[in-house]
Structure formats: C-alpha cells, structure tokens
Amino acid sequence: MKNKILPRKFYQRDTVTVAKDLIGKILVRNISGKILSGVIVETEAYSGLEDPASHAYIGETKRNMALFGPVGHAYIYFTYGNHFCLNVVAKKNVKAGGVLIRAIFPLQEIEEMQKNRYIKNLKTLTNGPGKITQALKIDKELYGTDLTKKGPLYICDTKKIKESEIHATPRIGIKKAKDNPWRFVVKKLK
C-alpha cells in the first residue's frame, strides 16, 4: 500500500474546505480482501445546523446522529426508496457537518463494480451518489464506519489537485439553499 490513509485531522476542518480537499482522494472498499477503489471526483458540503439543506438542520435524530459524532466517520442514509448515499463527517467549531461523496472514477476491480450494478456502461458506473454505494456494496451495515482506519471502508491520500482543476457549483437535487456553491467537481479526468 503506497497511499496513506487520511488522518482524523484532515476532517477536523471547515466542512466546505474538507469537501474541496476530498476531490482527487481515493475511496477504498475492502470486501473480504477484495479491494474496490476509485478517485473521488465530485463532493458536496452540508454544513450542519446553519445549512437548511443539511439533514442536521432539523436537529439530532436517530437517522442523522452520525453527523453529530466524531469526524472521519461514515454517515450513510437511505433515500428515495432505492438508494443509499455516503457521507464523511467533517466539521470544526460546529456541532454537525458532513461531506457527501457524489461521484468517483473507478480504479480497481472495475469488473466487480459492474457486476454489483448489473451494467457495463463505464460512463454511468459510479457517477452518482446512489451508484457509488451500489457499485461498492455500501449500505447501512457501514453506518458509522471509521474511515481513518484500515477497515471495510476508508479514504487514502494522493497528490494534491490544483485549485484551478476544481470547479465549484450549486448543489444538486435539493430544495433549500440551492444557491450555495458547495458542490465541487474535477473539471475533467480522463
């Protein structure tokens, strides 16, 4: 293993900053020894109690309690009847906050991901939050997983991505606070 796992400190910063810095990092899923991985190419920041679009906005509930817990852990939720979404808890000086991982670019075990998704089209394999969780077999079993330890799910560091490569846009698929440019994507990666 060349790449280092991102330390807890990485997540102990402003949620929006962490969202931007997570672009280009490697998301790793270990399924009983089989390593599925991909580069994170799209994230969104949901900064806790001040953000009306955040799940944490309404206060702590059974569903979102991970967002109020220690940073560097996974917050996974179920939505629209079919889909899980993966977040990383990240915050500083606020009670709750997290980064939604929206898209990755597959690196290892691509065939396994295709099998999990029952499709072959590479373009649509992992380019959405619900698709990532399906391709990597992420579900509520992994709720609260510590992503700073080598386990079933973690995130590795890589070389830095240039600021100019990252594009900030408004977030997608939400009804409130649509205008905050807290979605980050890599301009192109191919």
Partner DNA sequence: CTCTCGATGCACT
Partner DNA sequence: GTGCATCGAGAGA
**How many residues form the binding site for DNA (CB under 7 A)?**
35
**Spatial separation of the C-alpha atoms in residues 46 and 40, rounded to whole Å:** 17
Based on the shown chain and the rule CB under 7 A, indicate whether residue 174 belongs to the binding site for DNA: yes
Based on the shown chain and the rule CB under 7 A, indicate whether residue 62 belongs to the binding site for DNA: yes
> Of 122 and 160, which has the nearer Cβ to DNA?
122
Based on the shown chain and the rule CB under 7 A, indicate whether residue 188 belongs to the binding site for DNA: no
Which of these, 63, 72, 62, 60, lies nearest to 96 by C-alpha position?
60
SS3 (DSSP) at 63? coil
Contact between 175 and 23 under an 8 Å Cβ cutoff? The reply is: no
Amino acid of residue 140: K
Contact between 126 and 120 under an 8 Å Cβ cutoff? The reply is: no
Kindly indicate which of the ranges 6-14, 21-29, 51-59, 153-161 contains the residues binding DNA, using the contact rule CB under 7 A.
51-59
Kindly indicate which of the ranges 27-35, 106-114, 116-124, 145-153 contains the residues binding DNA, using the contact rule CB under 7 A.
116-124
3-state helix, strand, coil in the chain (%, to 5): 25, 30, 45
CB of 169 to DNA, least distance (A): 13
* Residues forming the site for DNA (CB under 7 A): 44, 46, 53-56, 58, 61-64, 67, 75, 78-83, 85, 87, 98, 100, 117, 119, 124, 128-131, 171-175
